[in-house]
Amino acid sequence: MDRNGWLRMAAAAALLAAAGAVLGACSDRDDGAAPPPTAGEPTRPASSPSSPPAPTPTAAPPTAASPTPPATPGRPTPAGPTTVQMTGVCPPNPDPAPANVAVVTQPAPNASVTSPLTVTGMVEAFEATFQAELLDAQQNQLAHVVGMAQQGQVLSPFSVQLTFSVNQPTPGCLRVYQQSARDGSDTKIVLVPVVLLP
């Protein structure tokens, strides 16, 4: 082949190459792809046609804080009046009676009693005779009685009454005793503290 034939073949190949390039560019424009953004234009994300746009979150309005009351310093609770349980008052017993000689079953120690006061118990006394009295806190005699047990010289039941008068609750003492036949002193004594009521 001569030189002119080679030139014609080269020119034809160049034309075919140029035509292929033009056809490729056209097919790229027709495939639905979005053109690249130009400089300075913001890029927007492609939205999916099947999903709705996401709602914009709305901020909750600020809630006004409740005012905190000022702290009140603790105040001590005022103490109320103290109630003191009144009890009876008895002097020292110089000659306590054994339980198999004399015992008082009524009233109970520190009982509150009114007039007339019934005193019951058991006593072993010479000729069944004994005595009972009520004293106040200063040892003043408020009532006195001579009693008789059911039998003498054996432990026997007794019951006597003492009549007294007070203007207000008064600590007192019930005293049950016998008198010595030898010297007349008080002996075999039972003391019971009581509160005497008007």
166-185: per-residue pLDDT in tens? Answer: 999 999 999 999 999 899 99
* Domain containing residue 147: 102-196
Instruction: Write down the pLDDT at residue 85.
Output: 81
User: Which candidate, 126, 141, 129, 131, places its Cα nearest to that of 176?
Assistant: 131
Cα gap 42→53, rounded to integer Å: 19
For the chain, the average pLDDT equals: 79
Q: Residue 142: inside a domain, yes or no? A: yes
Q: Residue 70: inside a domain, yes or no? A: no
**Contact (CB, 8 A) for 135 and 181:** no
CATH number of the domain enclosing 121:
2.60.40.2550
Q: Residue 171: inside a domain, yes or no? A: yes
The model's pLDDT over 5-48, given as tens digits with 9 standing for 90+, comes to 556 666 666 666 665 555 555 555 544 544 555 554 555 544 44
C-alpha distances out from residue 35 to 32, 63, 175, Å: 9, 49, 127
Q: Residue 9: inside a domain, yes or no? A: no
Instruction: Write down the pLDDT at residue 4.
Output: 57
Mean pLDDT on 185-195: 97
Q: For 87-153, what is the HEC assignment?
A: CCCCCCCCCECCCCCEEEEECCCCEEECCCEEEEEEECCHHHEEEEEEEECCCCEEEEEEEECCCCC
User: Which candidate, 143, 123, 124, places its Cα nearest to that of 132?
Assistant: 143
The model's pLDDT over 56-101, given as tens digits with 9 standing for 90+, comes to 555 555 555 555 655 555 555 555 555 558 899 999 999 999 999 9
Q: Residue 160: inside a domain, yes or no? A: yes
Residue 55 has pLDDT above 80, yes or no: no
Q: What is the pTM of this model?
A: 0.59
Cα gap 13→7, rounded to integer Å: 10
Cα gap 111→105, rounded to integer Å: 12
Number of domains in the chain: 1
Greater confidence, 86 or 51? 86
